[in-house]
């Protein structure tokens, strides 16, 4: 009879970040680093490096293509991918469809209230129509994500950025979705390298996120 899989460690700071850090340090033969330094210091360093790397990749793409690949709502997505990598909300499916729903809801709200070409609220000021558009976009995003079973909290920021008129050109919206895919691929690569069973697409089955995939030994996902 096979032994039940050991639970993925969460560390003092919670989430699966501790397991990811442990897996990466083991692969690089640097486990003594974690033994010599405080857990908080090591976890913070991992978050710092991943945050810098995520923005560096997006910035490089922006410089190479001349398109804006750096969007505010991708920051919360990046943190979710590395702090609670195995949570359903951090899965590739939820990440992609969550932001896509946010984009659709934001654009629809602008169209319904005639604000598609009105400019950003930061310069034009808030109006009754703008307030209604923002409220509708956030409500739609929240509701549709739940109805479709793809909750991804950072998508709320995406839809507000659009309904506030900060991001409206179609080409920029397409670039946003490309950036979402790039960030998710980065999360897949790093988390799998660390030994976490980060899913290929759909969230892991209920219970598996906290009880499978020892750090350093990735298992199939999604």
The two three-digit tokens of residue 192, written as one number: 């799998």
Residue 141 φ/ψ, nearest 5 degrees: -60, -45
How many Å apart are CA 46 and CA 40, to the nearest integer? 10
Domain boundaries, the chain: 17-199
The per-residue pLDDT for 5 is 41
Q: Which residues contact 61 (CB under 8 A, 6 or more apart)?
A: 67, 69, 179, 182
> What pTM, to 2 d.p., does this model score?
0.80
Question: Does residue 56 contact residue 47 with C-beta atoms inside 8 Å?
Answer: no
The rounded average pLDDT for each run of 10 residues, N- to C-terminus, in the chain (222 residues) is 44 56 59 57 75 83 83 91 91 98 98 93 91 97 98 97 95 94 93 88 78 42 48
Question: Does residue 3 contact residue 212 with C-beta atoms inside 8 Å?
Answer: no
């Amino acid at each position: 009879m096979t032994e039940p899989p050991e639970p993925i460690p969460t560390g003092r700071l919670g989430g699966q970040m501790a397991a990811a850090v442990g897996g990466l340090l083991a692969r690089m033969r640097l486990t003594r680093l974690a033994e010599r330094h405080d857990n908080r210091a090591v976890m913070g360093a991992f978050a710092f490096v991943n945050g810098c790397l995520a923005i560096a990749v997006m910035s490089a793409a922006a410089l190479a293509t001349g398109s804006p690949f750096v969007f505010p709502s991708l920051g919360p997505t990046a943190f979710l991918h590395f702090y609670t990598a195995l949570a359903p909300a951090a899965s590739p499916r939820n990440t992609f469809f969550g932001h896509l729903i946010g984009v659709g809801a934001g654009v629809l709200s602008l169209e319904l209230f005639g604000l598609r070409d009105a400019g950003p609220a930061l310069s034009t000021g808030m109006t009754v129509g703008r307030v209604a558009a923002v409220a509708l976009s956030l409500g739609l995003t929240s509701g549709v994500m739940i109805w479709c079973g793809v909750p991804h909290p950072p998508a709320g920021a995406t839809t507000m950025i659009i309904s506030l008129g900060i991001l409206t050109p179609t080409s920029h919206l397409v670039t946003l979705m490309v950036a979402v895919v790039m960030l998710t691929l980065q999360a897949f690569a790093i988390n799998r390298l660390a030994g976490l069973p980060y899913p290929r697409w759909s969230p892991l089955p209920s219970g598996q996120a906290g009880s499978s995939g020892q750090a350093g030994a990735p298992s199939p996902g999604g």
